[in-house]
Amino acid sequence: MVMKGRVSGKVALVTGGALGIGRACAKRLAAEGAAVAVTDVLDAEGQANVNEICLTGGTAGYWHLDVSNEQEVQDVTRMVKTKFGPISVLVNNAAVSGVTKPTHEISAEEWEDLMNINVKGVFFCTKHVLPQMIDAGTGSVINLSSIYGIMGASDIPLYHASKGAVRSMSRADAMIYASKGIRVNSVQPGFIWTPFVQNYLKTHGNIEAGRKAFDALNPLGNVGEPDDIAYGVIYFASEESKFVTGTELIIDGGYSAR
């Protein structure tokens, strides 16, 4: 049984909610009282997350949603409204890391494949949820950027570009929609132990050695857990952050403080 929580009464849509950070965000939002639409392209994993949430007394539903497909975004945002009511919290979380190549070796197709998910997906979901928030006169959009949207590194330049774009989109939308009662903020995770990082390590070396190397990168001595990010998302989703818009929350174990 979920008692009255920090986001009780809210309706949250989480993209990429089957695994990793999105999965944790969906669980935390439900535990704090929101009705949660878990969306993803991995249907079995997404449905499993919903089942776990419902078993613990939370309210959730699963919808297949490829964020790069505008028609699907339009259809799913409407269906969520019909089932739970207007969406008041949007967590734009779905993203891919893309190719590990230097910029001069990246093809136009590789650029488009990544940008279609990481940037256009955020645009489509925001675009189709905003009318519901405007009608309600309230809402919180939370965009998952990355410390890679702030800092340079030599491995995945396309991903850097996409996360910088998400950061900028968040600030611009914060300005456009502040007068409508809608807040837009971004979260910049550091290295978080999710399938995203695990798959990268599997294809680029040894997962155990990689974990130790990632741990050592962080002043706090370890990589983060998905819940470390979900707690930041809960803050932006809740009324505790009612005076906060256009800002960025770095959650990175101190990595970027150097």
Q: Does 98 bind ligand NAD (CB under 6 A)?
A: no
Q: Which of 12, 49, 58, 68 forms a contact with ligand NAD (CB under 6 A)?
A: 68
CA 106 → CA 116, 151, 159, 252, distances in Å? 15, 20, 12, 28
Structure tokens given for 89: 């919290």
Element (DSSP H or E) covering residue 28: helix 20-31
Q: In this complex, which beta carbon is closest to ligand NAD, that of residue 5 or of residue 22?
A: 22
| Interactions with ligand NAD, residue window 194-223 (CB under 6 A) | 194-197
Determine the interface stretch with ligand NAD among 38-46, 123-131, 167-175, 230-238 (rule: CB under 6 A): 38-46
The reply to whether 159 belongs to the active site is yes
What single DSSP character describes residue 199?
H
| Interactions with ligand NAD, residue window 13-32 (CB under 6 A) | 15-16, 18-22
Which residue of this chain has its Cβ atom nearest to ligand NAD in the complex? 20
Q: Does 144 bind ligand NAD (CB under 6 A)?
A: yes
For residues 50 and 17, what is the distance between their CA atoms, to the nearest angstrom? 9
* Smallest separation (angstroms) from ligand NAD to the CB of 243: 25
The closest of 36, 168, 181, 18 to 93, measured between CA atoms, is 18
Q: In this complex, which beta carbon is closest to ligand NAD, that of residue 180 or of residue 225?
A: 225
Across the chain, where does the E strand assignment appear?
11-14, 35-40, 59-64, 89-92, 139-144, 182-189, 248-251
Selected catalytic residue, list 62, 159, 177, 255: 159
Q: Which residues pair with 189 in a beta bridge?
A: 251
Question: 3-state DSSP helix/strand/coil percent for the chain, to nearest 5?
Answer: 55, 15, 30
Q: Does 146 bind ligand NAD (CB under 6 A)?
A: yes
Q: In this complex, which beta carbon is closest to ligand NAD, that of residue 2 or of residue 48?
A: 48
| Residues acting as catalytic residues | 159
